[in-house]
């Protein structure tokens, strides 16, 4: 989901040059928001599985940190999409 969000953000930033055509930009923002929701679900399932499996506590801490970093990155991608959406709507 993070890679998909990054790809869509790249497209959205490039489309800002043609801000008068708002529809593709807004569709990308919706797509990024969808990726973030899916990433939230994956994050919760992954954490639950991590703690359920009874793994080594150090592995649990390591993977929890990795999962949280990815979740934070998808949250920031959504924040950027919301900013882009605001810019598009102001110029519509």
> What is the model's pLDDT at position 50?
86
Distances in Å between the alpha carbon of 43 and those of 38, 48, 49, 82? 9, 9, 10, 21
> What is the model's pLDDT at position 66?
96
Distances in Å between the alpha carbon of 2 and those of 34, 53, 80? 11, 25, 13
> What is the model's pLDDT at position 82?
96
Domains of the chain (ranges, CATH numbers): 2-90 (1.20.58.220)
Please say whether the beta carbons of 82 and 29 come within 8 A. yes
3-state SS class at 57: helix
Note the pTM of the prediction, 2 decimals: 0.88
> What is the model's pLDDT at position 57?
86
pLDDT in tens, the chain (92 residues): 999 999 999 999 999 988 888 999 999 999 999 999 999 999 999 988 888 877 788 888 999 999 999 999 999 999 999 999 999 989 87
Cβ contacts of 69 within 8 Å, gap of 6 or more: none
d(CA 7, CA 24): 14
> What is the model's pLDDT at position 92?
73
> What is the model's pLDDT at position 55?
74
């Amino acid at each position: 989901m993070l890679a998909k969000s990054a790809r869509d953000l790249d497209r959205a930033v490039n489309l800002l040059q043609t801000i008068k055509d708002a529809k593709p930009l807004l569709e990308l923002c919706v797509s990024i928001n969808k990726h973030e929701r899916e990433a939230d679900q994956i994050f919760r399932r992954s954490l639950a599985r991590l703690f359920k499996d009874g793994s080594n506590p150090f592995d649990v801490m390591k993977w929890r940190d990795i999962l949280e970093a990815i979740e934070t990155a998808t949250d920031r991608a959504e924040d950027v999409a919301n900013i882009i959406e605001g810019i598009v709507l102001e110029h519509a």
